[in-house]
Amino acid sequence: MIAPHGGRLVNRTLEGDMRGEWLARIGGWHKLEIDYERVVDVENIAMGIYSPVEGFMCRKEYEAVLKEGRLTDDTVWTIPIVLDVDKDDIRGDRVVLCYKGRVVGVMEVEDVYRYDKEEMAKYVYGTTDVRHPGVERMSRMKEYLVGGKVWLLNRVETKLSKYRLTPKETRVLFELKGWRTVVGFQTRNVPHIGHEYVQKAALTFVDGLFINPVIGRKKKGDFKDEVIISAYEELIRHYYPKDSVVLVTLHMEMRYAGPREAIHHAIIRKNYGCTHIIIGRDHAGVGDFYPPYAAQEVFQRYPDIGITPLFFKSFYYCRKCGTVVNERICPHGDEYRVNFSGTKLRKAFQQGMDDEVRLLVRPEVAKAIQKYKQPFVE
């Protein structure tokens, strides 16, 4: 099976007697309240999803990732994993991380430092425009970053946690299924027939398909997490061969960082055990902030990433061909094309399905979405 990124799966989850000992010791330590997005970062570090990262990044690691797209040991890594704080939030060399008053984990404080938000935005998002949802969120971050290794004591369960697996668990699962090659599919949307097209095209060449929707904070107008899961369950139930697909959730906020986030997504799926990852048009992009194929071209800069990207160009439904195609295999003109559009699909589920939209979504998927009175993030 493919090696984890950096050569090993990180495990910073305290269990058994050791967990009990730490819980008994932390009563007098300073407590720091963190938001849910940082909670899942702690969990993803501890469970090996972010391997080889072991904690929130100290200044040297942060600057290396920001400017070079690599950790200080030259391992590919493109998204800073950071915890923002006020100057007076950190006291002592260990801090108890809490969410809504409940202990989540412990951080070993190694570094507290100021950072330049504009510089971070330029490197990570390629823009300082606050219309970009990632830049807007960053503008509200606190003025300091704290770095250090973390230990997880308690996971925060949600109604979708039953779909969540650790990389250790997915690797065992792939082994039991006899999958030697696995293609990962990143998504933040409900599936349309175009998604099905690229997934099945990739599945033709590998043993298994790993559908891994991002569960967490998204921008206004995106489909809600539970809607995405329900839609995919129906698609898999009715249109995929049995035992060819695994549906597992990735609990992490969408950053909409385009090329940098595409590399980040690939690394995470490599840790889960995927040998390949599907990278489509405008992967992890938003609006018109990135060129359509920037997320594919960025892989040229990281030939040592250790997972094989499968690139798909723009595709559409051709009325003449009667199926999903792309420009390389379809000779027909624009008058036959029905383009896939997230905006079009959202409007359809708000205002009513027309004949064109019915060509783009399986009826079982449409029915699953229509069960929800408000399927969108508000």
Of 38, 155, 171, 188, catalytic: 188
Determine whether 140 is an active site residue: no
Rounded to whole angstroms, how far apart are CA atoms 6 and 29?
32
**How, if at all, do strands 308-311 and 276-279 pair?**
parallel
Rounded to whole angstroms, how far apart are CA atoms 345 and 339?
11
Contact 33, 25 (CB under 8 A): no
Q: CA angle 11-161-145, nearest 5°? A: 55
Contact 217, 254 (CB under 8 A): yes
Determine whether 189 is an active site residue: yes
SS (H, E, C) the chain: CCCCHHHCCCCCECCHHHHHHHHHHHHHCEEEECCHHHHHHHHHHHCCCCCCCCEECCHHHHHHHHHHCECCCCCECCCCCCEEECHHHCCCCEEEEEECCEEEEEEECCEEEECCHHHHHHHHHCCCCCCCHHHHHHHCCCCEEEEEEEEECCCCCCCCHHHECCHHHHHHHHHHHCCCCEEEEEECCCCCHHHHHHHHHHHCCCCEEEEEEEECCCCCCCECHHHHHHHHHHHHHHHCCCCCEEECEEECCCCCCHHHHHHHHHHHHHHHCCCEEEECCCCCCCCCCCCCCHHHHHHHHCCCCCCEEEECCCEEEECCCCEEEECCCCCCCHHHEEECCHHHHHHHHHHCCCHHHHCCCCHHHHHHHHCCCCCECC
CA nearest to 247, candidates 307, 185, 171: 185
Of 19, 189, 281, 326, catalytic: 189
Residues with active-site annotation: 188-189
